[in-house]
């Protein structure tokens, strides 16, 4: 099969997948050349590139398979109409959730211990400054309690933090909660109360119509002025203007961002004038995560080869091409 990554510069990931699929052709293409590449592809891997209607016109394309969880860049109705499967890889069970959770923890520690200011003290040969804040005894609100949220909660328990989990429906009533020690798990109606309590707000939901601008002006108004906001989900989960205003007016203490409203993001954007730590969408970019995801992607390619529907299919009612 011919498989295209819809972004260039991913040689390491291409090589990992090639090891799992040695008899298949693994290629890449620029983001703006996806419709043309689709004409020659059996499988497209979007990464962060938009996969729209034009790509779905390919007579050959049979599967759009994300190398991770996010499908917000894929036109799933267009794929369904064209008889093309769309699938992703869940964060749990591959090392992806754990890797993203580790990055969220890095942001929490970096902001709490004032890492940029500490580097400035090193340059100025100043000892014992700045004074940071410990995680012990503080409250973290995890917004989106899926694979990433649970992985983060598990890690924060070792820091003796109070952990509040917020999900759309709250805890399941038909099965017991897992054994991760959290203080409280609430549904959407407890969302603002959790924000008021939290010293750290970590957003980790999928991006959809319900979560776009989930954290906006009203939500920032609920937060403590010493709170930190960390986004490891998708950029538009935070309202850009509301975040910028909150930073500018001192309504929050800072932010940690691994994802942005468009990517690559402008390094000269005004938001970096404030207390913001940032990474270039690397939450899942670890050896463990990328290898774990490759195995799941390869499994779906092999299922397609064998005439089976892919696992974790986002459009299970599709009538696939013959």
Q: Which residues are catalytic?
A: 234, 263, 281
Full 3-state SS string of 126-145? CCCCCCCCCCCCCEEEEECC
CA dihedral 188, 194, 196, 200 (to 10 degrees): -120
| Phi, psi at 96, each rounded to 5° | -70, -50
Q: Which letter does DSSP use for residue 309 in this model?
A: P
Q: Which letter does DSSP use for residue 210 in this model?
A: T
In which order are the strands placed within the sheet that holds 200-203? 184-186, 162-166, 139-143, 200-203, 228-231, 254-257, 276-278
E-strand spans in the chain?
A: 2-5, 25-28, 43-45, 63-65, 85-87, 139-143, 162-166, 184-186, 200-203, 228-231, 254-257, 276-278
CA distance 27 to 100: 26
């Amino acid at each position: 099969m011919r498989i295209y990554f819809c972004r260039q510069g991913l040689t390491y990931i291409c090589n990992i997948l090639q090891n799992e699929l040695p008899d298949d052709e693994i290629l890449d293409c620029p983001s703006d050349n996806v419709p043309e590449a689709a004409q020659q592809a059996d499988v497209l891997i979007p990464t962060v590139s938009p996969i729209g209607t034009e790509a779905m016109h390919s007579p050959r394309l049979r599967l759009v398979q994300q190398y991770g969880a996010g499908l917000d860049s894929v036109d799933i109705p267009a794929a369904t109409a064209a008889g093309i499967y769309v699938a992703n890889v869940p964060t749990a069970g591959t090392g992806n959730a754990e890797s993203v959770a580790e990055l969220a923890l890095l942001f929490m520690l970096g902001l709490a211990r004032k890492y940029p200011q500490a580097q400035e003290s090193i340059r100025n040969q100043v000892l014992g400054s700045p004074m940071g804040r410990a995680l012990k005894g503080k409250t973290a609100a995890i917004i989106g309690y899926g694979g990433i949220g649970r992985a983060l909660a598990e890690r924060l328990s070792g820091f003796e933090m109070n952990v509040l989990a917020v999900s759309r429906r709250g805890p399941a009533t038909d099965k017991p909660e897992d054994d991760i020690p959290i203080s409280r798990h609430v549904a959407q109606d407890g969302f603002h109360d959790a924000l008021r309590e939290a010293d750290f707000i970590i957003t980790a939901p999928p991006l959809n119509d319900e979560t776009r601008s989930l954290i906006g002006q009203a939500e920032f108004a609920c937060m403590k002025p010493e709170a930190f906001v960390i986004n490891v989900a998708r950029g538009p989960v935070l309202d850009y203007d509301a975040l910028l205003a909150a930073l500018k007016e001192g309504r929050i203490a800072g932010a940690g961002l691994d994802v942005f409203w468009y990517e690559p993001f402008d390094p000269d954007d005004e938001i970096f004038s404030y207390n913001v730590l940032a990474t270039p969408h690397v939450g899942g970019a670890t050896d463990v995560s990328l290898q774990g995801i490759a195995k799941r992607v390869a499994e779906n390619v092999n299922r397609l080869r064998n005439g089976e529907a892919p696992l974790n299919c986002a459009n299970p009612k599709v009538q696939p091409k013959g």
